[in-house]
Structure 1
Amino acid sequence: MGGLAPSVEALPLPGAAEATTPLGGVQVGRGLVTPATSRGGRATRDAARWRPSLFDILLAGVVAALSLYSFMERASLFFDTPDGPVQATLPDVRGAVQVLAGSVALVWRRSAPGLVLAVTVALAVTRDAEHYPVTPLPYVVLVAMYTVAQRWPLRRSGVAVVVTSLCLGAGAVMLLDPALDDEPFVEVVAVVTAWALGRGVQSRQVRSQLLEERAALLEASALQRSHEQAALSELAVARERASLARELHDVVASNVSVIVAQAAAARLRPGAPVEHSQSMATVESLGRQTLDDLRHLVGVLHTSPEDGMTPRALPRLEELGPLVDRVTSAGSPVTLTVTGVWRELAPAVELNAYRIVQESLTNVLKHAPGVAVRVSLDYGSDLLHIVVTDTGTGSDATSSGGSGLFGMRQRAALVGGFLHAGPGPNGGWVVDARIPIGTQTAPRGDG
């Protein structure tokens, strides 16, 4: 009766990690107790399942010592019965073996909690039936009941505690009179208390695991939301680019198309002077080229896959010939000179170098129409040198306040080079660009 506190202190309190260990065909995981379903590697799992832990071995030793001491200490007790005082059966080897057997069974309490509980209850009831001294508390049964409550689901453990209480109470009544002794009542209360402790530990473990899973779910949800926001941002950018492409096409392409149509009509007008027809042809050609470049830009900006737009290839230096011909036909004769080994360069270098020459020739048509232009390309071992020289006055290129020169400098800087533009020493205007190229690719076959 006074031994209740020591027995509770001796009960094991497994860690939370044990809540997911398969025991007796069940698993505690994700806040539920579910049947174990994995069948692969059964032999390995069974071997590990029946391997006792050091803690359980030490616990069994402590419980065995405590039970044997109580068993021996009560050997000389007399119990009051309606027929008078009766001395219990004296301790002997057989009774001691029963006590030790129940204690040794606790070594496998995690592996087979139900079986261990059945063995300990059967041994306790057997000792009561044989009129062995009743211990202050059934220590082995309490530990086994705690383990069952901590490992089994509520319904199964509830049935186990009811059956165990009835069995121990009936066994104690065989030897004691409930009207004179409170031993049966104490045993039942102790068993129920051990069951409640086990249920509390299981609830705490399940709650901790649920909190961990909830934290993991919240983290996964936050990560998913960040991915969704990134996707929405990309979609918004794509839509903005598509809208910009449509606006660019609607505003510029319409006007340029009208210019091309009017130039074509003026070129075909009967009785028009030859020079006038050639100028209109040049305007028409440049307008169509502008429309092609505009469609290319729209194709780059417009990323909607349903449009089926395939951007044309980016212009390269090998296309300078048609550009020179167009400018020459517009009235400004152009001479193109290439030195060094003409080879294919990086796409960015090819594009920006082409645009620098194109912008330089456009400036000539705008500010000094009709003057002669010389374009020089020098392919060095690690440098592309571009020089565009005209024979104009050298004063109109900077007077319009346009952004052509600034754009050319940006293009040269974009590929690691630099550009200088200004009046030439002998008059006219000079654009001098130097772009590093390194050893990009093999020489062209037509060099």
Structure 2
Amino acid sequence: MNRFALVIAIGVVVFSTSMLAQGNQPDARPIDPLGWALLAGCVLGLLPRRTHPEIALAITGGAAAVHFALGYPYAFWPAPALIAVFTLIAADRRAAGWIGAGAMVAIPATAALAQPSVDHMVALLIWGLIVLVAAQLAEVSRARRAYTAEVERRAAEAERTREEAALRRAQEERLKVARELHDVTSHTISLIALHAAVAAEAVERAGGPGEARDALAVIRTASREALTEMKDILGVLRTPESPESPESSDALDARRPAPGTERLGDLITTAGVPVEMEVTGVRRPLPPAVDLTVYRVVQEALTNTIRHAAASRARVSLSFESDGLVVRIDDDGRGRGGLETGGHGLAGMAERVAAVGGRLSAGDGPDGGFQVVARLPLAPAAALPVGAS
């Protein structure tokens, strides 16, 4: 209700009942200008009820107490003070509200004890019950508002959680797409560009037809452009605002098996440079996620060797240790700095290794060239000894 409408309505009730009470209570003090001013104070004190309920209670309660103490007729002039008490408690300012309610009962109780009589005691009891009912109704209103606010807060939190989960899943899918696109397609296109260049040089040395040289040049140029465009696409998919969660899976297309260490031989054969592979230690079965990670790390490291290192040969070492597996890839090309200076490939390798609880380091090798080292944890299992290969 509008505060002015409430004040007008309460004013009509207070002034009308006081005028009627003056005729029905001949023993009471007639309402003089001071009495009417006190009644006006009771009513107008409700104006700041919304913004400053404590002030409203002080004005309405004080005016009512003085009006009572001066012996004016009983009527509905305590109603504004009851409304102020209700507002305070309902607004969760319970201490001030209950102190006001206690004062509204204590003041007439003092007068009743000064002149004890059955009528005074009955009137005091009724008045105390009225104040208690008003305060309890305010508590109910406060609890209902608090419950409604909590329900709305939880609903908003649940909605926000759903939105965040959906966004996180979308971001994880984008990163998986970016990583698989880089690891698989980029590697293949790099091989196409490399072998096209080799074939073009062979045709040139053999004095082959010009159409073949032109076709190979087109293949080489197109593959390089495809790599550049793919890098741009990866930059869009792999945004800084979408870090990958360690819980995201490495699930591939269910229509084909995920590559692993069993396919490292095929990978090395098509690497484009001579690659020596060595496996040492006591071999243990690899979890699928770790098996895939080993393959992708070797694949990306060899791709970087072909594209950036200008290397003539590389070496891949798998070392099974007591607490895990160490994957090391070395080449004899030019160094390229560390992880922080790498592109999407090194970042993808680091993410893959971290996702299975491992650590990745990359940088210039101790004897020149570039070195990538991935340390992957392995659970204890039955071991099979294998020799170097």
Give the structure-1-normalised TM-score. 0.44
Rg larger for: 1
Give the structure-2-normalised TM-score. 0.50
